[in-house]
Amino acid sequence: MRKVKGRGSIFLQLLLTFFVFFSFVDSGNAGVTSTFIRSEWPSVDIPLDDKVFAVPEGHNAPQQVHITQGDYDGKAVIISWVTADEPGSSQVRYGTSEKNYGFSADGTVTNYTFYNYKSGYIHQCLVDGLAYNTKYYYKIGNGDSARKFWFQTPPEIHPDAPYKFGIIGDLGQTYNSLSTVEHYMQSGGEAVLFVGDLSYADRYQYHDVGVRWDTWGRFIERSAASQAWIWAAGNHEIDYMPYMGEVTPFKSYLHRYPTPYAASKSSNPLWYAIRRASAHIIILSSYSPFVKYTPQWRWLQEEFKRVDREKTPWLIVLMHAPIYSSNEAHFMEGESMRAVFEYWFVKHKVDVVFAGHVHAYERSYRISNIHYNVSGGDRYPVPDKSAPVYITAGDGGNQEGLAGRFRDPQPDYSAFREASYGHSTLEIKNRTHALYHWNRNDDGKRVPTDSFILHNQFWANNRRRRKLNKRHLHSAIANVPLSERLRRCA
C-alpha cells in the first residue's frame, strides 16, 4: 500500500515538474544576462565646490527646492526648500501665468541638528485646490533672492488617462548620478517614482553627513523643483549612527522629504499611497515593521480595499529591497517582506513592483512563490498570471558602484538583467497598455535597452470584463437622447 502511494506521488511530482517546465517554455522563458560592460566613470562623489551643487545667489535665497504630490488624487503639491541664513518666509506665491502670482499659501519652517551639524531652515508648504492638467508658476523667497519655478499638475483621475512616470533608484551624487538625472530629464517623464537611497550622505561622518544631504538637495533641484518626485525610503535614509550619538532613524530624511501620508490614512510618512492619472501607487517601507498586526501591515490591508481598478486600472507598488533579484548583492534581503506581502500582491493583481537597493537592473517574469508554506507546498517560484512583474532599478549611479555579480545560472524567473547605470520610464497609454523602457546611460548617451509592453492585470487579460464594459458603454450611449448623440458626433 505504502509503496503504491509512493510511486503515485513520484508520478504526480513528475507530472507537476513537466507542467512547470512547459509553462515556463510557454511564457517564452529565455532569460537574458546582458554582456554589456560599460566603461564607467569612477564612482566618486562630485566635489563640494562643483557647479552642480552651486548655492543660488542672494541673501537667504531658497535652495534645495523640490516638490511632491500633496494629496491622494493629484490636486495638491508639497513644495519644500531650505534657507541658509535666517528663517525668512514660508509662503509660496503662485498662479497660472508667469506674470501673475495672484494666489498664496503659507507653510511651516523647521530645523534640526545632526551631531554638530545644524541644518538650514527647512520650509514645507502645501499648495492645494489646484486644477488638473494645468501649468502653475510659483515663486518663493523675497526681493532679489526670490526664485521662480513651474510645474504641471497631472490629469484628472481617469481609467484611460495617459501618463509617463520615470523610475529612479539609489541615486547618490556622483558623475554617474548626474548622467542618470540628465538622461531622465530628456525622457519626457512627468513625475518620478523614486525607489529609495537618495543622497548616500551616510557614507560620510560627523558634520559631513548633513553637508551631503544639502548638496544632494541642490543637485536634484534641476528636476525635482519642477515635477513631483514620489519618495520611498531606503536603508541609506536610516542614518543610525550611534558612534556619534545619532540614533533616531530617518532623522534627516523625514525633516527634508515630506510625503502626503495622512491623505491615504497612513500614520507614518514612510508608507503611504497616492493616485495619479490612471495609477494607484502604494509606497512601502522595507525598513519599518511590516509583519502581521504592525501599523504598516494593517494600513496596507486597508489600502488594498481602497484600490478601485475601474478608476485607476494601474496598481503599482514601490519598495526599496527587491523581492525577486538574482544578483549576489543583497541576495534574499527582500525575503521577509515576500513572506508577508506576496500573497496580497497576487490576490490584488498588482501590475508591477519597483524596487532598488541592488545597483543593477533586472526584470522578472510574472511569478509567485505563494504556494510554499512551512508545512508544505512548492518551494520555488512558479509562473503565475496574477503575479506582478518585479523590476529592480537600483541603477541610479551612487558612490558604491555597480553590483556586477549575478548568480549563475540565471534563475527561471529572471527575464533580463544587466549591471549598468540608467533610469526607467513607464508610459501608460490607456487602461490596457503601458510601455516600459529601461534606458542605460551609455557613456553619456541615453540608450533604450530593455523594453516591453505591460498589459494591465485587471483590464487587458480579461475578455469578459472588456466585453461587459463594451456592452456597458453601448448601453450608456443608447440612454443618451438621439439629439444629444448627434450633437456629440458633430
Report, in Å, the least distance between residue 194 CB and Fe ion.
Answer: 12
Burial of 377-410, coded b for 16+ CB within 10 Å and e otherwise, reads eeeebbbbeebbbbbbbbbbbbbbbbbeebeeeb
Q: How far apart are CA 357 and CA 323, in angstroms?
A: 11
**Nearest alpha carbon to residue 279 among 163, 436, 153, 134:** 163
Q: Please give the residues from 345 up to 384 whose contact with Fe ion meets the rule CB under 5 A.
A: 357
Q: State the amino acid at position 439 in one-letter form.
A: N
Q: Which of 179, 432, 439, 456 binds ligand NAG (CB under 6 A)?
A: 432
202 binds Fe ion (CB under 5 A): no
**Which of these ranges, 38-46, 98-106, 428-436, 478-486, lies near ligand NAG under the rule CB under 6 A?**
428-436
Of 149-188, which residues contact ligand NAG (CB under 6 A)? none
Q: What residue 17 binds from Fe ion, ligand NAG, none (CB within 5 to 8 A, per partner kind)?
A: none
Residue 233 · residue 287 · CB < 8 Å: yes
Q: In what order do the strands lie in the sheet with 147-152?
A: 103-106, 91-95, 135-140, 147-152
Output the CA–CA distances (angstroms, integers) from residue 367 to 298, 342, 357, 361, 380, in the order listed. Answer: 25, 10, 21, 18, 10
Give helix then strand counts, H and E, for the chain.
Answer: 8, 26
**113 contact, one of ligand NAG, Fe ion, none, CB 5-8 Å limit per kind:** ligand NAG
From Fe ion, ligand NAG, none, interface partner of 234 (C-beta below 5 to 8 A by class): Fe ion
Q: Could you say which of 97, 100, 111, 267 contacts ligand NAG (CB under 6 A)?
A: 111
Q: Which cell is 3 given?
A: 509503496
Min. distance of Cβ 82 from ligand NAG in angstroms?
Answer: 12
CA distance linking residue 370 with residue 377, whole number of Å: 9
Q: In terms of CB distance, is 145 or 430 closer to ligand NAG?
A: 430
The reply to whether 375 sits near ligand NAG by the rule CB under 6 A is yes
Assess 113 for contact with ligand NAG (CB under 6 A).
yes
Do residues 340 and 290 lie in contact, with contact meaning Cβ atoms separated by under 8 Å? yes
- Please, which of residues 346-365 interact with ligand NAG by CB under 6 A? none
Residues 245 and 333: their CA atoms lie apart, in Å, by 27
Active-site residue flag, 455: no
Distance of CA 448 to the CA centre of its chain: 19
Question: Does 112 help bind ligand NAG (rule: CB under 6 A)?
Answer: yes
Cβ at position 425, least distance to ligand NAG in Å: 15
Number of amino acids touching ligand NAG (CB under 6 A): 12
Catalytic residue, from 66, 123, 183, 330: name it. 330
- Known catalytic residues? 330
Residues that bind ligand NAG (CB under 6 A): 111-113, 118, 373, 375-377, 429-430, 432-433
Residues that bind Fe ion (CB under 5 A): 197, 234-235, 357
